[in-house]
């Protein structure tokens, strides 16, 4: 395993990271303690999975086509589950359309017509925060489609919004091109934008297999001294270990668990 890991490290060292279009070095981003990073990455995964499973259920209900007037969705925590609300109408005044509860195991329940003609205030601000972040993504776009995740900011009364580069290719892992945004409590003001990679980088998940063993994928981070929540998310999403070179150290990310890898030990 160590030899396989070090061969991945050597390959990474020979491959320069993709840079932003203007070649300007990206700014350093906020990095949380490892346990918190793991917890946030897990929350991102659960919300992203819920949105995907609910979308599949909604399309199945409507014979593969989005219902008329659909303008987006929000995901609202509901205990250990996630409530996915699909919204209809005018983007300036969204109204609830369809609700799907996705349980903690990722199982989507029945599609139900949402009650009420207006969104509750706490649901509306989630929608506004998502749109505010989307309006500030910037020039570096590494995917044709981005998925959004909105969570409470643990350090303020505002919101954290992630725009995550996504793909429909089962073998592609978008390791770069993800963003984190800090948005005001009312969802209307973009307070900070953080680019979570030095540039675009797509990896082939088949490279995680070597010699019949699952070794993992290898990447590097230049915007932080440690792995970030997106690496936790990608590890959970792809069910693979991800090894990250950051801050002159090698880190292993296995789901929510992040640990420093001791490369000094000999086989």
Residues 199-212: pLDDT tens digits? 999 999 999 888 77
Q: In angstroms, rounded to a whole number, what is the distance separating the alpha carbons of residues 122 and 124?
A: 6
Phi, psi for residue 49 in degrees, rounded to 5: -65, -40
No. of helices (H) and no. of strands (E), the chain: 4, 16
Helical (H) or strand (E) element with 7 = helix 2-14
More confident call, 221 vs 140: 221
Q: Which of 53-84 are b and which e, b meaning 16 or more Cβ less than 10 Å from the residue's Cβ? A: bbbebbeeeeeeeeeeebbbbbbbeeeebbbb
227: its two tokens: 């792995």
- Mean pLDDT for all residues in the chain: 89
The residues, ordered by sequence, that sit 6+ positions from 26 with a Cβ below 8 Å of its Cβ are 20, 195, 197, 198, 199, 222, 223
For residue 228, give Cα distances in angstroms to 34, 82, 164, 168.
9, 23, 13, 23
Are 143 and 166 contacting, i.e. CB atoms less than 8 angstroms apart? yes
Are 109 and 54 contacting, i.e. CB atoms less than 8 angstroms apart? no
Other beta carbons within 10 Å of 21: 11
User: Residue 11 — pLDDT band, cuts 50, 70, 90?
Assistant: very low
36: Cα separation from own chain's centroid: 15
Q: What is the pLDDT of residue 24?
A: 66
Range name among 4-8, 64-68, 145-149 with the lowest pLDDT average = 4-8
For residue 259, give Cα distances in angstroms to 67, 216, 253.
45, 14, 7
More confident call, 74 vs 115: 74
**Scanning the structure block, which residue is given the tokens 């675009």?**
200
Strand 159-166 with 145-152, pairing:
antiparallel
Q: Taking 50 as the threshold, does the pLDDT of residue 174 lie above it?
A: yes
Q: Which whole number is the average pLDDT over 6-30? A: 51
Are 219 and 198 contacting, i.e. CB atoms less than 8 angstroms apart? no
């Amino acid at each position: 395993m160590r030899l396989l890991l070090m061969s991945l490290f050597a390959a990474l060292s020979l491959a320069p990271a993709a840079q932003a279009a203007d070649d300007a070095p990206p700014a350093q981003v906020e990095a949380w303690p490892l346990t918190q990073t793991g917890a946030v990455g897990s929350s991102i995964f659960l919300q992203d999975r819920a949105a995907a499973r609910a979308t599949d259920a909604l399309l199945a209900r409507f014979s593969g086509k989005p219902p008329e007037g659909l303008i987006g969705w929000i995901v609202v925590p509901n205990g250990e589950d996630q409530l996915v609300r699909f919204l209809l109408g005018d983007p300036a005044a969204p109204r609830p359309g369809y609700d799907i509860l996705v349980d903690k195991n990722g199982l989507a329940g029945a599609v139900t017509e949402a009650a009420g003609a207006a969104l509750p205030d706490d649901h509306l601000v989630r929608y506004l925060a998502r749109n505010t972040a989307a309006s500030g993504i910037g020039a570096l776009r590494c995917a044709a489609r981005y998925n959004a995740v909105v969570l409470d900011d643990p350090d303020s009364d505002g919101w954290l919004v992630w725009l995550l580069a996504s793909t429909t290719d089962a073998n592609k892992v978008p390791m770069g091109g993800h963003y984190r945004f800090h948005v005001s409590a009312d969802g209307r003001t973009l307070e900070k934008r953080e680019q979570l990679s030095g540039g675009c980088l797509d990896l082939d998940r088949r490279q995680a297999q070597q010699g019949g063993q699952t070794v993992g994928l290898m990447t590097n981070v230049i915007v932080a001294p440690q792995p970030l929540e997106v690496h936790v998310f990608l590890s959970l999403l792809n069910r693979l270990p991800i090894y990250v070179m950051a801050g002159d150290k090698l880190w292993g990310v296995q789901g929510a668990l992040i640990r420093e890898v001791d490369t000094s030990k000999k086989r």
